[in-house]
């Protein structure tokens, strides 16, 4: 089904009232986040200093997250029970024996490091354009003017179509040139592995919610997803800034692989708790879109990334998203047991546009998006 509404136009004055956007309203050129230069300065720019109440915590506890072993069919029911327990509390769990080859993961990390080691001018060949959700971004300096994250990212699209699209390879070759063809092949293979893994996880999520295991697998079979490479350089004052601010992922499911440096934190039971790196495991968390698909039964939880003074940190995040024309709504079996509907029907492009142009992601993103749909009388 197609969207039959258009995004409403807003005046500059109205845009200043939209929550969380924090966009530059003057003609001042945006700050350039160049870690090699910023780290030799006596102090970090004020734009990267976060308010006291949001600054990183010290000596936080480790979050108790279940390990889901995907290699044993004998434990499927136990795995679904553990997932249901975790996802009703905070939406995070780890998967091990996942079948993704160690060599592919290693290659993906190696090529990521080589990209971020490039001079800034080289990375800017893939500069993210305004309004797009992929490309190279040096912090969020082009979008926001305060509370900037201490990081740089490279995001690119992945489309899992039956026709066998080579979206990732085409992106690297078309954006960075033919010399990046091998980059494209590695990340094409990595994204295909992440898509397959996410479909396995979707079967367990369906079982955990008491519906047919193939329901969500079929819904996400042809997905239009996003892959993001994250680089968090060392910072001389890590107690003042954040690598990624507190947010909930707007996508459906995130599959994250961390390097050996600690930095991921989740807000559970009114305190920040860490998920330590484990090279054998993927960190999986529920996003806002899947929370809507479960009618709020499974939680999309607030999380963030911190930085440190000594070591750079890298991570790879695959954001599973529905195909663009899929309507996001809970299965009828969930609605038979749980009413009323918490969120209206929507499509992923509608939600993505809201987070890119109208709202800075936080714990209230999905509720604010719901109000935005109702206020503007959008229909799908």
Tell me if 180 sits within 8 A of 172, measured CB to CB.
yes
Establish if 128 belongs to a structural domain.
Answer: yes
Establish if 264 belongs to a structural domain.
Answer: yes
Q: What is the pLDDT of residues 90-135, one digit of tens each?
A: 999 999 999 999 999 999 999 999 999 999 999 999 999 877 889 9
Q: What is the pLDDT of residues 163-172, one digit of tens each?
A: 667 899 999 9
Q: How far apart (Å, rounded) are the C-alpha atoms in residues 284 and 286?
A: 7
pLDDT at position 7: 33
Which bin fits 220, alpha (ψ -120 to 50), beta or left (φ > 0)?
alpha
Establish if 305 belongs to a structural domain.
Answer: yes
Tell me if 138 sits within 8 A of 120, measured CB to CB.
yes
Please list the residues that pair with 323 across neighbouring strands. none
CATH number at residue 154: 2.60.120.330
Which three-class secondary structure state does DSSP give residue 1? Answer: coil
Establish if 13 belongs to a structural domain.
Answer: no
Please list the residues that pair with 247 across neighbouring strands. 303
Which three-class secondary structure state does DSSP give residue 380? Answer: coil
Establish if 45 belongs to a structural domain.
Answer: no
The whole-chain average pLDDT of the chain stands at: 89
Establish if 33 belongs to a structural domain.
Answer: no
pLDDT at position 195: 97
Question: Has 185 been annotated as catalytic?
Answer: no
- Which residue from 21, 80, 5 is spatially nearest to 368, judged by alpha carbons? 21
Considering the entire predicted model, what is its pTM?
Answer: 0.91
Q: Sorting pLDDT into bands at 50, 70 and 90, what band is 34?
A: confident
Q: What is the pLDDT of residues 44-62, one digit of tens each?
A: 999 999 999 999 987 899 9
Quick check: 29 pLDDT over 80? no
CA atoms within 13 A of residue 227's CA, in its CB half-sphere: 26
Range of the domain at 292: 60-376
> Which one is predicted more confidently, 329 or 360?
329
Establish if 178 belongs to a structural domain.
Answer: yes
Among candidate residues 128, 143, 304, 313, the one labeled active-site is: 313
Q: How far apart (Å, rounded) are the C-alpha atoms in residues 14 and 80?
A: 46
Establish if 91 belongs to a structural domain.
Answer: yes
Which bin fits 76, alpha (ψ -120 to 50), beta or left (φ > 0)?
alpha
Q: How many domains does the chain have?
A: 1
């Amino acid at each position: 089904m197609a969207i039959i509404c258009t995004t409403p136009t807003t005046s500059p004055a109205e845009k200043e009232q939209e929550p969380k956007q924090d966009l530059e309203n003057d003609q001042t050129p945006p700050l350039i986040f160049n870690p090699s230069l910023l780290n030799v300065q006596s102090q970090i720019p004020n734009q990267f200093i976060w308010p006291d109440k949001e600054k990183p915590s010290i000596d936080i506890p480790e979050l108790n997250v279940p390990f889901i072993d995907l290699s044993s069919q004998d434990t499927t029911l136990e795995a679904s029970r553990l997932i249901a327990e975790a996802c009703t509390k905070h939406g995070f769990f780890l998967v091990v024996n996942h079948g993704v080859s160690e060599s592919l993961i290693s290659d993906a990390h190696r090529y990521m490091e080589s990209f971020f080691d490039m001079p800034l001018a080289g990375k800017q060949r893939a500069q993210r354009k305004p309004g797009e959700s992929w490309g190279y971004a040096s912090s969020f300096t082009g979008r926001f003017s305060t509370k900037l994250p201490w990081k740089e990212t490279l995001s690119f699209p992945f489309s899992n179509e039956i026709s066998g699209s080579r979206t990732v390879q085409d992106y690297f070759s078309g954006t960075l040139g033919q010399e990046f063809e091998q980059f494209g092949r590695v990340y094409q293979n990595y994204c295909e592995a992440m898509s397959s893994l996410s479909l396995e996880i979707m079967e367990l999520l369906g079982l955990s919610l008491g519906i047919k295991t193939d329901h969500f697998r079929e819904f996400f079979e042809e997905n239009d997803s996003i892959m993001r490479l994250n680089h968090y350089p060392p910072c001389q004052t890590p107690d003042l800034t954040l690598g990624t601010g507190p947010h909930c992922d707007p996508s459906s499911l995130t599959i994250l692989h961390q390097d050996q440096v600690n930095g991921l934190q989740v807000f559970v039971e009114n305190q920040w708790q860490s998920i330590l790196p484990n090279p054998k495991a993927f960190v999986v968390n529920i996003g806002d879109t899947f929370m809507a698909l479960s009618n709020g039964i499974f939680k999309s939880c607030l999380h963030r990334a911190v930085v440190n003074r000594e070591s750079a940190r890298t991570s790879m995040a695959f954001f599973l998203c529905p195909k663009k024309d899929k309507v996001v709504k809970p299965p009828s079996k969930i609605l038979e047991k749980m009413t009323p509907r918490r969120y209206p029907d929507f499509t992923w492009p509608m939600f993505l546009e809201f987070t890119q142009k109208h709202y800075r992601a936080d714990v209230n993103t999905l509720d604010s998006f719901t109000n935005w749909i109702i206020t503007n009388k959008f229909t799908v």
